[in-house]
Copies of this chain bind each other. A is one copy, B any other.
Amino acid sequence: MARSKTRIGEANVEKILDAALAVFARYGLRGARTGQIAEAAGMSKPNLLYYFRTKEDLYAAVLERTLRTWLDPLAAIDPAADPAEALTGYISAKLDFSRRFPEASRLFATEILQGAGWLEAALRNDLAPLVEAKVATLSQWIAEGRLAPVDPMTLVFMIWATTQHYADFAAQIAVLTGRSLDDEEFYATTRDTVLRVVLAGVLPRT
């Protein structure tokens, strides 16, 4: 873990974590170079290693720092809310996350693509119970007839996949459309279309 006793130390740790996020998100743990992270953080390599003794320590710290933000939108789904509003809010929050923190999304994507070895414990201990609770909420809505009888877990995966796609595959989207979520019009079209398709697909026919 990081040494962070002084104020200047705290500031450096933040700079390192920001730089490390960018590099790890692009190359993964093995492909990342500590020299590259040090350069991006504006310090020498030995100085970086003064704060994080190994590349693995730094990687774990970046994952941990990012994990909390990652779980928040899902936790916000309220069983007492209207299903359409709750799903609209969740999809919007996820898409907004892809726009604001694309590197965080790509960090997790890279980690999971590579087998999730470092994230597996967190997925099991933190994400799994949360997902289970929200799947229960969706199931309850279905039982009450407020949601069409779709498999809740698959629905969650569809929402994750669709929204995270815009961060994870941004390079491909840029080639095919010339745009990104930073483009306000593109963002609006994407959000409206995703919301329309998903909601029309899962709300009960009236």
Residue ranges of A at the interface with B (Cβ–Cβ < 8 Å): 25-31, 106, 109-110, 112-116, 120, 123-124, 127-128, 131, 148, 150-151, 153-155, 157-158, 160-162, 164-166, 168-169, 171-173, 175-177, 189-190, 192-194, 196-202
Contacts and interface: CB of A to CB of B under 8 A. Distances in A.
A196 B194 CA distance: 15
A162 B158 contact: yes
Given A31-B27, A109-B109, A198-B197, A153 B165 contact: no
A154 to B, nearest CB: 4
Contacts of A173: 157
B113 A168 contact: yes
- What does DSSP make chain A's interface, helix, strand, loop or mixed? helix
Q: Which of A116, A166, A173 has most B Cβ within 10 Å?
A: A116
B112 A172 contact: yes
Given A113-B113, A165-B161, A197-B150, A176 B28 contact: no
Q: How many copies does the complex hold?
A: 2
A127 B31 contact: no
Contact of A193 (B29, B150, B196): B150
A149 to B, nearest CB: 9
Contacts of A176: 123, 127-128, 131, 153
Contacts of A27: 28, 30-31, 114
Nearest to A157: B165
A156 B193 CA distance: 11
A133 to B, nearest CB: 12
